[in-house]
């Protein structure tokens, strides 16, 4: 019986410690693949998601406009440090672009850390397999986001940065949870082509955090950037 086998597999999986060095390399991933096959679940990584995938998952898009008030507030922050990077760093590779992105993110962090609130940057944040249900069956996605930027009470900084995966997997231990979570994807060129990848990452993060329609609008902003070009969007579940 397939259902009984799935229950046994889940029970076995829950008893495993992913940090156990005695586990064979890739063992957990193989278990997940077996589970997907038993459930007839199609799996793909974030980087392989395209517009057709979003359509099949009923994720649609529309324009997001920058208000004049927000534009003035941004301009009021003063000049950006981009010129330093342009003058001294080659940005013909993604590594060079990331230097520019890193500097700009640190600039954002320095302007938003006010009072009891602080901003934290988590590079290479992994999102585990997330199951999406669609008319034609089940679909799962997983991957790593280039940067996850969170704003939360400053007293939780050490807890978050010490083990970001555990901290964000258990938001109930943070008062009110992270106040905001923003996903950044770094791309050297063809920034807009990476929008589906960023959108599915946002959808996965919202589902894992159990964010509802009423909370997502104020919590999730996504950015795809080369450092010079920035495409920003909001995700609503």
Q: What is the pLDDT of residue 80?
A: 67
| C-beta of residue 118 within 8 angstroms of C-beta of residue 152 | yes
Q: What is the pLDDT of residue 158?
A: 92
Tell me how far apart the alpha carbons of residues 31 and 8 are, in angstroms, rounded to a whole number.
12
Over its length of 237 residues, how does the chain's per-residue pLDDT go in tens digits? 555 676 677 777 777 776 677 778 778 778 877 777 666 667 788 888 988 888 888 888 877 787 888 888 877 776 666 777 778 888 888 888 898 899 888 888 888 877 788 899 999 999 888 888 776 667 788 899 999 998 888 899 999 999 998 888 887 788 766 767 888 898 888 888 899 999 999 988 888 877 654 444 445 788 999 988 888 888 877
Threshold 0.85, pTM exceeds: no
b/e string for 173-205 if b means 16 or more Cβ within 10 A? ebeebbebbbbbbbbbeebeebbbbbbbbbbbb
Helix (H, G, I), strand (E, B) or coil at 44: strand
Full DSSP string of 83-137: HHHHHH---SSHHHHHHHHHHHHHHHHHHH--TTEEEEEEEEEEEEEEEEEETTE
State the CB neighbour count (10 A cutoff) for residue 18: 10
Q: What is the pLDDT of residue 214?
A: 42
Strand partners for 148: 122, 183
Q: What is the pLDDT of residue 213?
A: 44
**DSSP code at position 153:** E
């Amino acid at each position: 019986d397939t259902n009984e086998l799935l229950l046994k597999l889940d029970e076995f999986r829950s008893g495993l410690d992913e940090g156990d060095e005695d586990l064979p390399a890739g063992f957990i991933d193989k278990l997940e693949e077996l589970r997907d096959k038993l459930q007839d679940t199609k799996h793909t990584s974030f980087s392989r998601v395209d517009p057709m995938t979003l359509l099949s998952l009923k994720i649609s898009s529309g324009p997001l406009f920058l208000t004049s008030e927000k534009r003035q507030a941004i301009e009021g922050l003063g000049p950006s440090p981009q010129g330093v990077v342009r003058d001294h760093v080659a940005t013909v590779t993604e590594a060079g672009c990331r230097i520019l992105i890193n500097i700009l993110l640190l600039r954002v962090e320095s302007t938003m850390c006010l009072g009891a609130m602080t901003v934290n940057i988590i590079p290479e944040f992994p999102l585990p397999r997330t199951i999406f249900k669609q008319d034609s069956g089940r679909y799962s996605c997983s991957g790593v986001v280039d940067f996850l930027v969170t704003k939360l009470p400053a007293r939780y900084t050490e807890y978050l940065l010490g083990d970001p995966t555990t901290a964000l997997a258990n938001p109930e231990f943070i008062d009110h949870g992270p106040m905001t979570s923003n996903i950044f994807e770094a791309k050297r060129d063809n920034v807009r082509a990476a929008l589906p990848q960023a959108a599915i990452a946002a959808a996965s993060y919202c589902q894992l955090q159990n964010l509802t329609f009423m909370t997502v609008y104020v919590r999730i902003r996504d950015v795809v950037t080369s450092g010079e070009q920035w495409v920003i969007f909001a995700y609503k579940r």
